[in-house]
Amino acid sequence: MLYIIEVIIYTAAMLLIYMLFLRNRPLYQFSRYYLIASAILPLLLPWLRLPENYRERIQHMAITGFTLPSIEINNTAAITVTTTDVSLVWWVYSIIAMLLIAWQLWNGYRLWQVISKNKKQDHGAYALVIAPGYGPGSFGRYIFFPEPEINETILKHEQAHIQLHHTFDILLLNLMQAIAWPNLFLIWIRKELKEVHEFQADALVHADKESYMQLLLCSVFNTTSIPIMHSFIIHPIKRRIMMLYKKGTASPVKAGLMVVPAFFLFFTLAIAVQSCNKTPDQNTGNAGYKSTVTTISTKSENSVAGKAVLNYADKMPEPTYDIKDFLARNIHYPEYARKSGIAGR
């Protein structure tokens, strides 16, 4: 569970950088890639560590402590070692993840049914699905129009989605939302990513802004979609119109000068914190912990009786036995406590 908490914190930090420096700026492709990275990188960051020789320099004290398991005693001969059933937690986690994946597959099946049961017009790079009861919108190479009439402006907009392969982004975010479902920030990232997709497609239409704004407003109450689709209308409509009237194009270089230092600072702090944390003993598989780094000052040597004395140990002592089993076998219930009926934890 500590891993999930770290992922959520890192996702929140990356999303905060986006909100401060990229949101509502006409840097659509840059924002698109950053939002995708904000969903993926936090899953990897908890596994990253500094090399051993660098870790020795940043840690100022050894981590040698560990938490003992809870011991319940009563006036019987048995001693019970209380531990947390981690497997149950992961079973619940996995069941919820599988249910969410099943929900996404169901939406995909619904969309496939719509495509297969309605009339289609193949135009090479895209295919029109006419009067399916859903749309206007797109998914993959399919463009949906709820009525037989086809609006050329909306058609160009949906063609832009296909040209930029936006469907793959949404499928990726849907999968990550299902797998890392406790990370609610992924919902926010997916919402922002879909809006950036719409800004990108709007920018490629090159229509008259006044007429395009009227088209957006007229379509607000006439759009029906399946959640997995790219709908022509997404709310808030006010933000989309605002971005349509943004003048000029922001410089990616200027955005980089703002975002890169902030991201570098975040990434550096995250790796430093990860390198200082205690990690489970992967060699013995027991409940013990090992120190990741230990140092008091810089790496220097002193001479005592002709032998070098180091300021840190390359490898700290580690328990080589099961702590819970050791306690269960070696803690003996006192006879006077048994006779007095003393029990507790």
Question: What is the per-residue pLDDT across 171-186, written as a single tens digit (0 to 9) for each?
Answer: 999 999 999 999 999 9
- Report the C-alpha gap between 164 and 197 in whole angstroms: 9
> What is the arrangement of strands in the sheet containing 127-130, beginning at the earlier edge strand?
120-122, 127-130, 142-145, 137-139, 230-231
| Element containing residue 35 per DSSP (H, E) | helix 28-44
| Predicted local distance difference test score (pLDDT) of residue 311 | 62
Neighbouring residues of 125: CB distance < 8 A, sequence distance ≥ 6:
141, 159, 162, 163
128, 145 in Cβ contact below 8 A?
yes
Regarding beta strands 301-304 and 80-82, do their DSSP bridges make them parallel or antiparallel, or are they unpaired?
Answer: unpaired
Do 220 and 106 share a structural domain?
yes
Residue-level pLDDT at 217: 74
Both 191 and 266 in one domain: the answer is no
Whether residue 148 is found in the same domain as residue 217: yes
User: Do residues 285 and 275 both lie within one domain?
Assistant: no
The number of folded domains in the chain is 3
User: Do 236 and 267 reside in the same domain of the chain?
Assistant: no
- Cβ neighbour number for residue 189 with a 10 Å cutoff: 23
The pLDDT score that the predictor gives to residue 189 is 96
The answer to whether the pTM exceeds 0.85 is no
Q: What is the pLDDT of residue 288?
A: 41
Q: Which one, of 268, 230, 259, lies nearest residue 33 by Cα?
A: 259
Both 120 and 202 in one domain: the answer is yes
Q: Write down the pLDDT at residue 298.
A: 42
Write out residues in the chain with pLDDT < 50, as ranges.
60-64, 277-301
Instruction: State residue 38's pLDDT score.
Output: 95
d(Cα 314, Cα 294) in Å, to the nearest integer? 8
According to the model, what pLDDT value does residue 337 have? 79
Task: Let me know how many helices (H) and strands (E) the chain has, helices first.
Answer: 12, 11
Q: Are residues 152 and 200 in the same domain?
A: yes
- Regarding whether 240 and 103 lie in a shared domain, the answer is yes
Cβ neighbours of residue 101 closer than 8 Å, sequence gap 6 or more: 175, 178, 179
Q: Whole domain around residue 32: which residue ranges?
A: 1-48+252-279
Q: What are the tens digits of pLDDT across the range 230-266? A: 666 565 677 777 777 775 555 666 666 778 788 888 8
Instruction: Determine the 3-state secondary structure of 2 from DSSP.
Output: helix
Asked if 187 and 221 sit in the same domain, the reply is yes
Q: String of b and e for 238-268 (b: at least 16 CB within 10 Å)?
A: eebeebbeeeeeeeeeebeeebeebbeebbe
Same domain, 76 and 151: no
126 and 190 in a common domain: yes
Same domain, 89 and 228: yes
